[in-house]
Amino acid sequence: MRKTFIFLLLTLLALFIFAKEKIVINSYMSDPAPRKAFAELVKIFQEKYPEYEVTVNTFAHEDFKTLLRTWLAAPKGTADVVTWFAGERMRYFAEMKLITPVEEVFKESSWENYFPASFKSTCSYNDRIYFIPQSWYWWGVYYRKSVFEKYGIKEPKTWDEFLKVCETLKANGISPIAIGSKFPWTAAGWFDILNLRINGLDYHIDLTAGKIPYNDSKLLKVFEYWKQLVDNGYLLPNHTSYEWQEGATFLFRGQAGMYYMGQFIKDVAPEEVKNDLDFFRFPIIDPSVPLYEETPIDGFMIPANAPNRKGAIEFLKFIASKEAQEKFARDLGRLAANIEVAPPDEHAKKGLDMILASAGVSQFYDRDTNPEMAEIGMNALIEFLQNPGKINSILDNLEMERKRIYGIK
Whether 139-294+370-406 and 21-136+296-361 are alike in CATH topology: the answer is yes
Fold of the CATH domain 139-294+370-406: D-Maltodextrin-Binding Protein; domain 2 (3.40.190)
CB neighbours of 25 closer than 8 A, spacing ≥ 6?
42, 54, 55, 56, 57, 79, 80, 81, 82, 83, 315
pTM, full prediction: 0.87
pLDDT at 166: 98
Pairing of strands 139-144, 277-280: antiparallel
Residue 150: predicted pLDDT: 98
- Per-residue H/E/C for 47-105: HHCCCEEEEEEECCHHHHHHHHHHHHHCCCCCCCEEEEECCHHHHHHHHCCCECCCHHH
27 vs 5, 39, 57, 72, 161, CA distance in Å?
44, 11, 6, 14, 41
164, exposed or middle or buried, with CB in 10 Å at 0-12, 13-18, 19+? Answer: middle
Task: Count Cα neighbours of 316 within 13 Å in the Cβ-side half-sphere.
Answer: 29
Kindly report the CATH number that applies to the domain delimited by 21-136+296-361.
Answer: 3.40.190.10
In 3D space, the residue among 37, 45, 42, 28 whose CA is nearest the CA of residue 296 turns out to be 28
pLDDT, position 11? 61
Beta-ladder partners of 177 = 235, 258
Query: For residue 317, what pLDDT is reported?
Result: 97
- Give residue 118's pLDDT: 81
Which pLDDT score, from 0 to 100, does residue 10 have? 61
What is the chain's pLDDT, residue by residue, as a tens digit (409 residues)? 566 666 666 665 555 555 789 999 999 999 999 999 999 999 999 999 999 999 999 999 889 988 999 999 999 999 999 999 998 889 999 999 999 999 999 988 999 999 988 889 889 999 999 999 999 999 999 999 999 999 999 999 999 999 999 999 999 999 999 999 999 999 999 999 999 999 999 999 999 999 999 999 999 999 999 999 999 999 999 999 999 999 999 999 999 999 999 999 999 999 999 999 999 999 999 999 999 999 999 999 999 999 999 999 999 999 999 999 999 999 999 999 999 999 999 999 999 999 989 998 888 998 889 989 999 999 999 999 999 999 999 999 999 999 999 999 8
SS3 14: helix
**Where are the domains positioned within the chain?**
21-136+296-361, 139-294+370-406
Give the 3-state secondary structure of residue 218.
Answer: helix
